[in-house]
Amino acid sequence: MILPGIPGSYIYKAEKLVKGVSGLRSFTKGNFRHNLERLIGKAPSWMKKAEAHHVLPQKFGWFFESKGFSIHDPRFGSWVDKASHSKWSWEYNVYWEDYINRYGDEASPEQIIEYARILANRFGFDVNF
């Protein structure tokens, strides 16, 4: 599923680009799960307890916001199984911290998206971008 976006750019007013999706709320931490469900549907039934995972970690919100991303944009969310999420989330954040420390100033939005895809593959969850 390809989500709405501006070709060649990831810096945008996120809420305007998902206007066609009904029932979205403002992009906040408290609305993230609701908006993810509205955008991509309910979590797969095989997940006993699903969590709405921020592909762009909240811990580094300051960094992603400085690059033009809204970390609570549901396009940058994914359903993950709660049990497995708790096993790998610390390591996932370590990878992001290393990336930000090494490349943060020079990282383009496109490079950030590509790195997010690489980590999603490594940690075994789907992304919608």
pLDDT 10s digits, 12-43? 444 455 656 788 899 999 999 999 999 999 99
What is the structure's pLDDT at 21?
Answer: 77
What is the structure's pLDDT at 98?
Answer: 97
Range of the domain at 105: 26-123
Q: Distances in Å between the alpha carbon of 77 and those of 13, 37, 102, 105, 106? A: 17, 10, 24, 24, 24
Residue 86 lies in a domain: yes
| Strand partners for 52 | 79
Least reliable range by pLDDT among 4-8, 38-42, 111-115: 4-8
Distance CA 2, CA 128 (A): 6
Residue 16 lies in a domain: no
For residues 5 and 112, which has the higher predicted lDDT (pLDDT)? Answer: 112
What is the structure's pLDDT at 4?
Answer: 41
Residue 11 lies in a domain: no
Residue 21 lies in a domain: no
Give mean pLDDT, residues 118-122.
Answer: 96
Distance CA 46, CA 42 (A): 11
DSSP 9-53: B--S-HHHHTTTSTT---SSGGGHHHHHHHHH-SPPTT-SSEEEE
pLDDT tens digit sequence for 58-108: 999 999 999 999 999 999 999 999 999 999 999 999 999 999 999 999 999
In the chain, how many domains are there?
1
Name the pTM for this structure: 0.84
Distance CA 118, CA 114 (A): 6
Among the listed residues 16, 21, 15, the one whose alpha carbon sits nearest the alpha carbon of residue 1: 21
For residues 7 and 57, which has the higher predicted lDDT (pLDDT)? Answer: 57
What is the structure's pLDDT at 72?
Answer: 95
Residue 4 lies in a domain: no
Residue 128 lies in a domain: no
46, 57 Cβ separation under 8 angstroms: no
In sequence order, the 6+-apart residues with CB closer than 8 A to the CB of 94 are none
